A and B are shown apart, each in its own frame.
Chain A
Amino acid sequence: MRLKATGRLDLMDRRLLQEAQDGFPLTLRPYASIAKKLGVSETEVLERLNRLHQKGIIRKIGPALNPGRVGLRASTLVAMKVPGNRMRKVAKLVSRYEEVSHCYQRDNEYNFWFTVAAHDEVELEKVLEEIRLGASIAEDDVLDLRATKMFKVDVRFQLV
Chain B
Amino acid sequence: MAMDNLDMKILLAVQDGIPIVREPFSTIAKQLGLKPEEVVKRLQRLREEKVIRKFEVFIRKRKVGITANAMVVWMVPSNRTQEVGEFFAGFKEVTHCYERRTVPDKWRYNLYTVIHGFKRKTVKEVVKRLSDASQVEDYLILFSVKEFVRRSSGRVRPEDLRTPRTNGRLLSGT
Is A37 among interface residues, defined by CB-CB distance under 8 A?
A: no
Is A36 among interface residues, defined by CB-CB distance under 8 A?
A: no
Q: In the complex the two chains form, what is the Cα distance from A39 to B57 in whole Å?
A: 19
Contact of A66 (CB < 8 Å), options: B81, B100, B103, B154: B154
Q: How far is the CB of B96 from chain A (nearest CB, A)?
A: 5
Contact B37 A28 (CB under 8 A): yes
Q: Which residues of B contact A75 (CB under 8 A)?
A: 153
Q: Which residues of A contact B95 (CB under 8 A)?
A: 152-156
Q: Which of A127-150 contact B (CB under 8 A)?
A: 143-150
Q: Which residues of A contact B47 (CB under 8 A)?
A: 26, 63
Chain B binding site: helix, strand, loop or mixed by DSSP? mixed
* B-side interface size class: 35 or more
Contact of A98 (CB < 8 Å), options: B44, B88, B116, B155: B155
* A-side interface size class: 35 or more
A-B contact count (CB 8 A): 252
Other than A106-B71, A149-B81, give 19 A-B pairs with Cβ distance below 8 A: A26-B43, A46-B21, A50-B20, A56-B63, A59-B59, A62-B15, A63-B43, A71-B170, A75-B153, A94-B148, A98-B155, A102-B153, A105-B146, A107-B142, A111-B145, A115-B153, A119-B170, A154-B95, A157-B59
Q: Which residues of A contact B8 (CB under 8 A)?
A: 70
Q: What are 6 contact pairs spanning A and B, CB under 8 A?
A: A59-B59, A59-B150, A63-B53, A66-B50, A70-B51, A105-B144
Q: Which residues of B contact A30 (CB under 8 A)?
A: 24-25
Q: Which residues of B contact A95 (CB under 8 A)?
A: 148-149
Is A122 among interface residues, defined by CB-CB distance under 8 A?
A: no
Contact A117 B154 (CB under 8 A): yes
Q: A62-B15, A154-B95 in contact; A104/B100 too (CB < 8 A)?
A: no
Contact A155 B52 (CB under 8 A): no
Q: Which residues of B contact A110 (CB under 8 A)?
A: 107
